[in-house]
Amino acid sequence: MPPWRLQQAVRCLHKGGILAYPTESVYGLGCDPFNPEAVQHLLTLKGRSQARGLILIASDFSQLSDLLMPLPTKTMRTLYRSWPGHVTWVCPAHPEVPIWLRGRHTSLAVRVTAHPLAAALCQAWGGPLISTSANLSGHPPARNPLQVRKQFAQQIDMIIYGDVGTQEKPSVIKDALNNKTLRR
């Protein structure tokens, strides 16, 4: 992706915009996780309850570490071995993490993305982004820009064009404290 296009995406995020972008398996919708109006707009577009919480993606763990409570060394090794990758980990959230990110939970779902375009977007933005599948709740996730447009028409601010990764399903979600799989 050309640098000017990344900067255009960053400007969109600064204005509270909603982006669609390719991930490891599907197109994702994202926004500035610390802009409550942008997050609420995204949840409204999807028809998704805030109570469920959201996933944050990052280009590296340093973009996520301030949002999480300290984890045991063994747990950190497990996370690092899986990243960058297709595994989302549910970790104890720092008490300051906004409720619109955690939902009804005391934890936060985080992933260091392996998708080069999504990682470049996080790097250019300088922090994590919300990553929720680009679909209306209950509908199949979009796997290309045309499917994003069909579901959301002009309701999102920018589509970043690119190929999704080779994974067939959205990321596996695991509990960082007990290593249990929450979603396959």
Burial 27-64 (b: 16+ CB within 10 A, else e): bbbbbbbebeebbebbbebbebebeebbbbbbbeeebb
Averaged pLDDT score across all residues of the chain: 95
Segment 106-128 shows an average pLDDT of 98
- Taking the C-alpha atoms of residue 146 and residue 96, their distance in angstroms, rounded to an integer, is 38
Three-state DSSP state, 77: helix
Q: What percent of the chain lies above the pLDDT cut of 70?
A: 100
Residues found in the chain: 184
Cis peptide before 84, with omega less than 30 degrees from 0? Answer: yes
Q: Where are the domains of the chain?
A: 3-183
Q: Could you give the residue ranges of the DSSP H alpha helices within the chain?
A: 3-14, 36-46, 73-82, 99-102, 116-125, 145-152
Residue 85 has a pLDDT of 95
Residue 137 has a pLDDT of 80
Residue 183 has a pLDDT of 86
Residues 38-75 have pLDDT tens digits of 999 999 999 888 989 999 999 999 999 999 999 999 99
Residues 3-21 have pLDDT tens digits of 899 999 999 999 999 999 9
Q: What architecture is domain 3-183?
A: Alpha-Beta Complex (3.90)
The pLDDT of residue 1 is above 90 = no
Residue 155 has a pLDDT of 94
